[in-house]
Amino acid sequence: MKFRYEQSNAKGNPKRVSSLVASLVLCLAAVTPGSQAQTNFPEKTVKLIVPFTPGGSNDVIARIVGEKLSQYWGQPVIVENKPGAGGNVGAGFVANSAADGYTLLVAANNVLTINPSLYSRVNFNPVKDFAPVSLLGSVPMLLVVNPSLKVNNVKELIATAKTTPNGGLSYASAGIGTPHHLAAAMFSSMANVPMVHVPYKGAGPAVTDVLSGLVPVMFGASNTLLPHIKTGGFKALAVTGNQRLPMLPDVPTVAESGLPGYYADIWVGLVAPAGVPEPIIAKINADVTRALKDPAARASLAQQGLIPAFNSPSEFSDLIKKDLARWSKVVKESGAKAD
C-alpha cells in the first residue's frame, strides 16, 4: 500500500508525517488479525454438540452434515454427544462456550422452544444466549392408531374420543413435553376432545405398547412409525405438518382433516454461542446450505426419514421466537411439567 503526501508538507513538518504513518500502521495491525481469523475460519477442529444420545435424528443430521463440512473446510468436524435433562445439559454447555464458532449446538425444536416453558429452570436463554445459524432438517410426525381401533380418519377419531368413557382415548408418547406429547395435547385442545396421556421413556417402548393394542393412539416421528405402517401394525390417519408426505401421498394432514390451523412438527437446527462474529456465522451458514444441497447428503438424510431444510440466520431467529410463543401456550394449556 502506498501513501501520498505533498512534498511541501513533508518538508515542512516531518514529525506530522511520521506520526500519521505510525497511526496507520497501528490501525492496520489492530484490524488485520481479526479479519484474517474470520476469513480463514476454521483453523482447527470444530465441535458439533448433540444434546442427546447417539442414534437419534439430531445425531444423524449432525454426522451427515459434519462430514460434508469437514471436507469443505479441511479441518476435523467432530460430533460430541452431551445428553441430559431433555437436552438442557448440552445446550447449556454450548451457551457457555467461547464465542468463536468452534463449538456449535445441533438441537431439535424441543430444546430451544419447548424446554424453556416445560422446565422450571433452564441454564440458557434460547434467544439471548445463542446466535442462530440455520435449520438443518425436519422430521415429519404422523397420527397413527392400532388397527383394532375402528376409525379410518381424523373425524372418526374425534367422534370416538367424545364417546369414550373414563377420560377419553389414551395416547402414547416418547415422554412428557416431547413434540409427540405436545402435538397430541394441541390436537386434544383444538378438537375439544378428552384424551389421556400415557408417557414412556422414549419412542421405542411407546411404539411397542401401541403395536400390542395396550394404548390405541400415538403421535410420533414418521421415520419411527413408517416401517410399522408398511407391515400393517399401525394405521396412519394424518400428517401433523403442513404438507403430505411423498411416501404416504393418500394420508392427509390434520388441517385437511377438519382441524384448520393445526400444525406440529419436529425440526433440527444449528446455533452458535451468542457473540460469534457475523462473518463466521455467514460462512458456516453458506457451507451448511451447500452441504444440505449435496445429492449424496440428501440421499443419506432421506434414508433416515429426514427432510433437509435450510434458511438464513435471521429467518431461523424468527422461527425460534415464533415457536417459543406457540409451544409456550401449548405447554401451559396442557399443564405439562418436566420437573
Of the two residues 120 and 288, the one the predictor is more confident about is: 288
Which residue, of 239, 257, 279, is where some domain finishes?
Answer: 239
Average of per-residue pLDDT across 240-268: 93
CA atoms within 13 A on the CB side of 22: 6
Residue with cell 406429547: 181
Confidence band for 304, pLDDT divided at 50, 70 and 90: confident
Question: Does residue 213 sit in the same domain as residue 77?
Answer: no
Q: Within a domain: residue 153?
A: yes
Residue 29: is its pLDDT beyond 70?
Answer: no
- CATH label of the domain that carries residue 329: 3.40.190.150
Average of per-residue pLDDT across 104-126: 94
pLDDT above 70: percentage of residues in the chain: 88
Are the CB atoms for 266 and 114 separated by under 8 Å?
A: no
Residue 32: is its pLDDT beyond 80?
Answer: no
305: alpha, beta or left? (left if phi > 0; alpha if psi -120 to 50): left
Q: Within a domain: residue 1?
A: no
Residue 286 and residue 310: Cα distance in Å, rounded?
Answer: 10
Q: Within a domain: residue 303?
A: yes
Residue 268: is its pLDDT beyond 90?
Answer: yes
- pLDDT (0 to 100) of residue 155: 96
- pLDDT (0 to 100) of residue 19: 53
Residue 63 and residue 268: Cα distance in Å, rounded?
Answer: 13
Domain range for 167 is 141-239
- 225: nearest Cα among 212, 236, 241: 236
Would you state the torsion angle of the CA atoms of residues 123, 128, 129, 132, taken in this order, to the nearest 10 degrees?
130
Q: What is the DSSP letter of 245?
A: B
Q: Within a domain: residue 109?
A: yes
Question: Does residue 186 sit in the same domain as residue 159?
Answer: yes
Which residue, of 239, 255, 286, is where some domain finishes?
Answer: 239
- CATH label of the domain that carries residue 176: 3.40.190.10
- pLDDT (0 to 100) of residue 53: 87
Residue 103: is its pLDDT beyond 90?
Answer: yes
Total domain count, the chain: 2
- pLDDT tens sequence across 192-207: 999 999 999 888 999 9
Q: What is the mean pLDDT of the chain?
A: 89
Residue 248 and residue 46: Cα distance in Å, rounded?
Answer: 38
Question: Does residue 66 sit in the same domain as residue 111?
Answer: yes
Q: Within a domain: residue 151?
A: yes
Q: Within a domain: residue 294?
A: yes
Residue 33: is its pLDDT beyond 50?
Answer: no
- pLDDT (0 to 100) of residue 124: 96
Question: Does residue 271 sit in the same domain as residue 329?
Answer: yes
Confidence band for 264, pLDDT divided at 50, 70 and 90: very high
- pLDDT (0 to 100) of residue 16: 52
Question: Does residue 273 sit in the same domain as residue 315?
Answer: yes
Of the two residues 27 and 288, the one the predictor is more confident about is: 288
Residue 46 and residue 43: Cα distance in Å, rounded?
Answer: 9
Question: Does residue 87 sit in the same domain as residue 104?
Answer: yes
Of the two residues 27 and 316, the one the predictor is more confident about is: 316
Are the CB atoms for 223 and 186 separated by under 8 Å?
A: no
Residue 151: is its pLDDT beyond 50?
Answer: yes
Average of per-residue pLDDT across 85-93: 94
**Minimum mean pLDDT among 66-75, 145-154, 161-170, 236-245: which range?**
161-170
Question: Does residue 165 sit in the same domain as residue 232?
Answer: yes
Residue 157: is its pLDDT beyond 60?
Answer: yes
Residue 243: is its pLDDT beyond 80?
Answer: yes
Residue 1: is its pLDDT beyond 70?
Answer: no
Q: What is the DSSP letter of 213?
A: T
Average of per-residue pLDDT across 264-279: 96
- pLDDT tens sequence across 5-26: 333 344 445 545 455 545 544 5
Question: Does residue 166 sit in the same domain as residue 77?
Answer: no
Residue 123: is its pLDDT beyond 80?
Answer: yes
Considering the entire predicted model, what is its pTM? 0.82
Helix (H), strand (E) at residue 308 = strand 307-308
Would you state the torsion angle of the CA atoms of residues 225, 227, 233, 238, taken in this order, to the nearest 10 degrees?
40
- pLDDT (0 to 100) of residue 61: 95
Terminal alpha carbon distance of the chain: 63
77-81 and 46-50 beta bridge pairing: parallel
Q: Within a domain: residue 296?
A: yes
Residues 6 or more apart whose Cβ sits within 8 Å of residue 53 = 59, 81, 83
Residues 6 or more apart whose Cβ sits within 8 Å of residue 72 = 287, 290, 291
Question: Does residue 147 sit in the same domain as residue 231?
Answer: yes
Residue 297: is its pLDDT beyond 60?
Answer: yes
Transcribe 91-150 into DSSP letters.
Answer: HHHHHTS-TTSSEEEEEEHIIIIIHHHHSS--SS-TTTSEEEEEEEEEE-EEEEE-TTS-
